[in-house]
Chain A
Amino acid sequence: MTTRVALEEGLRTLEDGVVELASMVDKAISRSVEALKRLDQEEAKRIVHEDLLINKKRFDIEEQAIELIATQQPMARDLRRIIAILNIIVDLERMADHAEGIAKIVLMHQDKPLLKPLIDIPRMAEKARDMLRRSIDAFIRRDVEAAYKIAAEDDEVDALYDQVYRELLTYMLQDPRTIDRATWLLWVAHNLERIADRVTNICERVIYDVTGRMEEINVSKY
């Protein structure tokens, strides 16, 4: 068996990059929800600013991937791996934008208190982050079965989103003066719901990487 050292090394570097980017995104999601709990304006500003680093990381990986294609002419599974990575980093970067969106909602609150204590929103965040971490793990291990399972769990996030929506609607109906803050929290929940949707995109890429099949799995109800 001949090996292709340059290609193998390039692929490993790309994989490391994906893991690192995913970890940055995971942290951004976690920090944005923590900042929301405390309405920490300074932390929210930092999160918005640090999104630039995530964007830069994504472009770095993209450039390395293009270079690897141009110089090593990957085929078959190697080519699919790189194409999967190119897609995954876009989803990761967009997830970070959703986290940034949550941080901006913290900033919108200025000196207003939270409408209500957060219960389901942190649960949504935990679930989405758990799905994110496992989807990256499934990608690294080329685990198609896990990919299907994780994607199916998007329904749980959707269900929590439903719950948040109904609860916030009650607030708004009872007292129209809460509409502003209720809408903000709804946006937060929506951002988290989108993050989980993007995890299912990653799962689709895991399936493509391993099998070459492009299929849409678990279409979200939102």
Chain B
Amino acid sequence: MAEALTFPRTTVRPAWIRVEGLSAWYGRRQAIRNVNLEIAPGKITAVIGPSGCGKSTLVRCINRLHEVVPGARVEGRVLLNGEDIYGPGVDPVLVRRRIGMVFQRPNPFPTMSIFENVAIGPRLNGLTRGAELEELVVRSLKLAALWDEVKDKLHVPGTSLSGGQQQRLCIARALAVNPEVLLLDEPTTALDPISTLKIEDLLRQLKAEYTIVIVTHNMQQAARVSDFTAFMLAGEDRVGEVVEFGPTRQLFTNPKDPRTEAYITGRFG
């Protein structure tokens, strides 16, 4: 617990993740099958694919959020720096602290100020001391490239910000608990193009210290921002699989699988 609160965190190098033979179900319906992925430390990995291919399910398995859905089930392993997050005795709450998540719709806590939105995580983890907490909030807002825009109004409601600012606030909130990995599930879908590019710039800055996985249905975004890309597709049985995984520049210039080719060139349907 204490380790997760240290800032800057004790593990200097960004974490690596290995997904091994991962399958996931919602009740009796299988959503993804046998996913194997090496998520490189300090890089941005994009997961792309058409709607319903299981890309959101996949990232939700990477921080044990999938199992929150009633009847949901996971098989396989997800190793965080070699340690299986599904191993016996592993606390999913601690996993989610080390592997943070940002969602499609900016979701700042509506009753809380900008400051409180960022401070809530550390507070829940037991950090209440004023100066230290303040320092952590400021640092998180700076990391999220939001500080300059909000430093004079830290105590107004988080929901008073623009959509793009709210999403960066959510990123600051995720960073405040000092995760090693940041998962983003279509984080710019609800944003305008300029706010989208700001988030992408931010991710590029953050990747030196955080391992980042971004789910996006915007291929151009994956091409712009990521180092590696996984293309997922659901077959006739509607179970999603990773069709191709590789360096982004290779996947977008010379994909190996004809299904990837069809999808990224837009000849797909």
Nearest A residue (CB) for B250: A212
Identify which of B158-166, B209-217, B260-268 touches chain A. Answer: B260-268
CB pair A76–B268 under 8 Å, yes or no, is no
Q: Is A172 on the interface with B (CB-CB < 8 A)?
A: no
Taking CB atoms and an 8 Å cut-off, the chain B residues in 226-269 that contact chain A are 252-255, 260-262, 264-269
Nearest A residue (CB) for B220: A73
Q: Is A2 on the interface with B (CB-CB < 8 A)?
A: yes
CB pair A76–B269 under 8 Å, yes or no, is no
Q: Is A75 on the interface with B (CB-CB < 8 A)?
A: yes
Q: Is A34 on the interface with B (CB-CB < 8 A)?
A: no
Expressed in whole angstroms, the Cα–Cα distance for A78 and B264 within the complex equals 10
**How many A-B pairs with Cβ below 8 Å?**
40
CB pair B252–A76 under 8 Å, yes or no, is yes
CB pair B267–A1 under 8 Å, yes or no, is yes
Neighbouring A residues of B261 by C-beta, 8 Å: 76-77
Contact for B267 among A4, A79, A80, A212, CB less than 8 A: A4
Expressed in whole angstroms, the Cα–Cα distance for A73 and B265 within the complex equals 9
Q: Is A7 on the interface with B (CB-CB < 8 A)?
A: yes
Contact for B265 among A75, A211, A212, CB less than 8 A: A75
**Chain B residues bordering chain A, tally (CB within 8 A):** 16
Neighbouring B residues of A80 by C-beta, 8 Å: 253-254
Q: Is A110 on the interface with B (CB-CB < 8 A)?
A: no
Expressed in whole angstroms, the Cα–Cα distance for A212 and B255 within the complex equals 9
Q: Is A3 on the interface with B (CB-CB < 8 A)?
A: yes
- A65-88 vs B, CB cutoff 8 Å, 1 = contact: the mask equals 000000001111111100000000
Neighbouring A residues of B269 by C-beta, 8 Å: 1-2
Given known A-B contacts A76-B255, A79-B253, A80-B254, A2 and B219 have beta carbons under 8 A apart:
no
Expressed in whole angstroms, the Cα–Cα distance for A52 and B254 within the complex equals 36
Which of A7, A74, A76, A79: most chain B CB closer than 10 A? Answer: A76
Expressed in whole angstroms, the Cα–Cα distance for A77 and B219 within the complex equals 15
Given A1-B268, A79-B252, 10 more pairs with CB closer than 8 A: A1-B262, A4-B267, A74-B265, A75-B223, A75-B266, A76-B253, A76-B255, A77-B261, A77-B265, A79-B253
Q: Can you report 30 A-B residue pairs in the complex whose CB atoms are below 8 A from each other?
A: A1-B262, A1-B267, A1-B268, A1-B269, A2-B267, A2-B268, A2-B269, A3-B267, A4-B265, A4-B266, A7-B266, A74-B265, A75-B219, A75-B223, A75-B252, A75-B253, A75-B264, A76-B252, A76-B253, A76-B254, A76-B255, A76-B260, A76-B261, A76-B265, A77-B261, A77-B265, A78-B265, A79-B253, A80-B253, A212-B253
Closest 10 CB pairs of A and B: A212-B254, A2-B269, A75-B264, A4-B266, A76-B265, A76-B261, A78-B265, A75-B252, A75-B265, A76-B264
